[in-house]
Amino acid sequence: MAPPLRTMTDDTFTDDKMSETPASPTNTDTTLTGDVVVERADDEGSSIRSSECPSSVDVESAQPHNSKKIKPNFLQRITSPFRSDPEPAAVTYTKTRKLENTPRGFPQLAAFQASEANFSLYRSYSYLHSRVLLDLQDELRCLENELDEIDWNDYEVDVNRLRSRDYDSSCSSDLPGTRTRRVVLREIKEKLIEYDDILIKSRTLESFQKPSDRNYRSVRRYHNNKKPLMDAPMDAIRSKEDVVSLTGGREWATFDGGVESSIGRVDQALKKVFGLKTPPLQV
């Protein structure tokens, strides 16, 4: 094949056929396969042959490796033998009574006080206990005097009646309405059981702890803000000196008192700094 004709212009060689565009034997929109040879002339007239061979593209390698397994850290490897299988939903499901789903009134107030042990505040009714105990005490006093009178009367008539219960029963009068020693003792026993039961329970109530000022104010705020009861039933919580708490010992009483005092001092400082009429934390 004859070399292409060149024209010399100012020491520059140009090919007459460089301006010609080769016609593609196939559609340019289709994918070309095989080697493509490009010849270009440099200043020295030498031609450089370059070849490009398209390689197949690995689609999977081009995708991000999102499914790469993350290795557990040191802590996970240590604790993995001690982990238990998660419990099924039927075991972990819990049912909780919510205030908003409880009717307003005594039901809602009961749900509120049962939601926190520190809110379990109730009246001890110490005055009523004392009143009932005094009444039973006086009834027992009357029965005691009646028993003494019967004993002295029988002692003067027949001393043996006080020495044998069977003999005393055989000598007792069967007339209706007659109060014998057996009748009086039976009434004394019934009154003593009732009196002792209330006395012991009153003693137990006296051992209950008084609520802290913080817990008492929390319950009072709930009564004031939500107003679950009418005014008259709210007198129970207003009797502060008669209110007791159902919580156990006061191991944290000193700590709670210190925290409460600190909050009080901060509250007073905020009131003074911002010029408020009432402490902001006691709204």
pLDDT in tens, 205-224: 999 999 999 899 999 999 99
Q: Check residues 249 and 202 and name the one with the higher pLDDT.
A: 202
Amino acid 254: pLDDT? 62
Amino acid 73: pLDDT? 76
CA distances to 37, 77, 216, 278, 282 from 269, rounded to whole Å, are 89, 52, 23, 11, 13
* Backbone dihedral angles phi then psi of residue 246, each to the nearest 5 degrees: -85, -5
Taking only the tens place, the pLDDT of each residue in 86-131 is: 888 888 888 888 888 999 999 999 999 999 999 999 999 999 999 9
Work out the average pLDDT over 193-208: 96
Separation between Cα atoms, residue 162 and residue 100, nearest integer Å: 69
Separation between Cα atoms, residue 243 and residue 208, nearest integer Å: 10
Work out the average pLDDT over 46-59: 45
Helix-helix angle 181-206:126-157, to 10 degrees: 150
β partners of residue 122: 244
Amino acid 66: pLDDT? 54
Separation between Cα atoms, residue 14 and residue 4, nearest integer Å: 10
Taking only the tens place, the pLDDT of each residue in 125-140 is: 999 999 999 999 999 9
Provide the whole-model pTM: 0.58
- Which is nearest to 256 in space by CA: 270, 247, 52? 247
Q: Check residues 269 and 174 and name the one with the higher pLDDT.
A: 269
